[in-house]
Structure 1
């Protein structure tokens, strides 16, 4: 119940999962993953298919949860602008001829 209150979804506590909006479903799935306080949370394209409001909501919520907790986040996205502000390092794959290399970048953020 506390997690639903944090998400602003307490009113939907008895609603079936499929009755929630796409953004609400994403938040519930992330919360479910975080309930046991994992050492590492891996999110692969968590903002895919969300409208701008829900994209912002999920990013801000991740900033709070990751910034204030002990969980490390591995955030995978094809869109750099999707990364929440709590991200402190970025690994970008870049084409180098016929193969791919990577570029590592340290970002200003919350040190973990």
Structure 2
């Protein structure tokens, strides 16, 4: 298990994904996937469907973006580096309610 992050969350790394556990409860609070994984949400292949960001926006409404992230709070999904031409840098996080609640510096999609 990794050392705690600034929020006190501990994590574990696996091939293609990382799991984080809440400091207070020890329950899983976030999973982040690399492009080594095929991540599907509601039939949308998030890494390979070129319309994935728009389709998530259609389902999840308000999606702050900035600093390389697009966050869909209602869906519990955050996309990282989807604005980059380097597809291998992309990542997808799925998170528990409240995990990405402090989104200072992010603007509208």
**One fold, TM greater than 0.5?**
no
**Structure with greater proportional helix content:** 1
Write 1 or 2 for the structure with the bigger share of strand: 2
> Rg bigger for which structure?
1
